[in-house]
Each structure stands twice: as structure tokens, then as C-alpha cells.
A and B are shown apart, each in its own frame.
Chain A
Amino acid sequence: DVKVTQSSRYLVKRTGEKVFLECVQDMDHENMFWYRQDPGLGLRLIYFSYDVKMKEKGDIPEGYSVSREKKERFSLILESASTNQTSMYLCASGGDRYIPNTEAFFGQGTRLTVV
């Protein structure tokens, strides 16, 4: 079974803290994604990576950065957490840049609360 594992299920951080959300996949996928999910807004893409050290901004990259040093690991970084970043964060992996006809596999999500 494909596994996408997010490091935390629930996280509470203080305003101004640097926050790391980790995601690991075991299927050798080239594509990995970070989404943010808020009520009424659906899933919004924050960043996308199609290879090690390669990344593309999604629709809402402001306030976030990412790191992909190894193929299996994709980290989302909140440089200085703010209360408006309180949300559910979902990591996914699937396919590669040139073969988009594949499904994405999701982690269980991290519910982040910034106080």
C-alpha cells in the first residue's frame, strides 16, 4: 500500500514561531504537493514539487516556503506563523511531471492551530 505520512496529526504553535510540517512518501513519486484546506474554500495548492530541489508556487504561497532535499520527503515551512495560517494542511504525492495520468495519494492531514 502506498503511504504518505505527515509528521503530526494536530499541532499548536505560537504566533511568530517557525513551523515545519513534514511529509514522507514511500512510492518513489516525483510529484509532491502541499495543500491548505479551509471551510468553504476547498483545497488550495500552496506549493508543488516535481523533483528533488525543484518547486513551483501554487495559488497561495505567501508566508510559506518548502524544501525537497530527498525524493521521499517534502517539507512545508511557515517562516513566521500567523493566526491566519490556522488550517488543515494536506500533503499528497503522485505521478511525475510528464505522466499526469495518475492518481494522488494523500496523508492524513495536519490540523495546525496558531495562537
Chain B
Amino acid sequence: SQQGEEDPQALSIQEGENATMNCSYKTSINNLQWYRQNSGRGLVHLILIRSNEREKHSGRLRVTLDTSKKSSSLLITASRAADTASYFCATPSSNTGKLIFGQGTTLQVKP
């Protein structure tokens, strides 16, 4: 079963615009992670937000977490063509560390 579900499934924007992706999950978590995948490659970790944090920044990335709504969002500001990729949220099982991913959002940034 998928723990996280991303929304939208696909997003197309112009370079310079902001991109927002959302993730909803079902059970309680102690952290939520965001990953990026370039076409045909492995995933790369972007940012981890703990359950007691509400917002976290890393460069042009901003992640928010609302545990009452069981949701998170990833904002990429001033997007670039190189940001074109798929983005996934993931949550670890609290008692085993098993990492469950959502279906991902495919982002296309047009130059």
C-alpha cells in the first residue's frame, strides 16, 4: 500500500515560475522525506522534515508539514529547466525504518 500520495501527478511550468507539489499520507510519522529522480536514474534525497517541524528550507526548496492534515508540500522557487524531474515523498515506518514512497509528481520546466 502506498503511504504517500503526491498531487498533482504531472506539472508543467515555465522557467522562473514556482512549482508546488503536495503529498498526503495515512498513518502517523516521525519524519517525511522528499526525493528527486531524473529520467531513468536512481533517486536522490532532497530534504527531510521531522514531525515536530512545520517548515524547512534548503536553497530554492521549501518544505512544509502539517501533521494534523497528514500532508506536506514541496515548493521549488524560481524553477530552472534543470529542475525537470520526478519528485517523490517518502515516509519511514516508525518501528522498522521501512521506507514507503508515493507515486510521484512529474515536473516539466520549459525554458
Contacts and interface: CB of A to CB of B under 8 A. Distances in A.
Interface of A: 4, 31, 33, 35, 40-43, 45, 48, 50, 56, 58-59, 88, 90, 92, 94-109, 111
Given A31-B97, A100-B31, A102-B48, 15 more contacts: A4-B42, A41-B103, A43-B43, A45-B100, A48-B98, A56-B98, A58-B98, A96-B97, A98-B97, A99-B97, A100-B94, A101-B31, A104-B35, A104-B43, A106-B44
Contacts of B92: 95, 100-101
What 3 A-B pairs come out closest when comparing CB atoms? A42-B103, A106-B42, A100-B92
Interface in B33-60: 33, 35, 40-45, 48, 50
Contacts, number: 79
B95 to A, nearest CB: 8
Given A100-B30, A108-B41, A108-B42, A59 B97 contact: no
A12 to B, nearest CB: 16
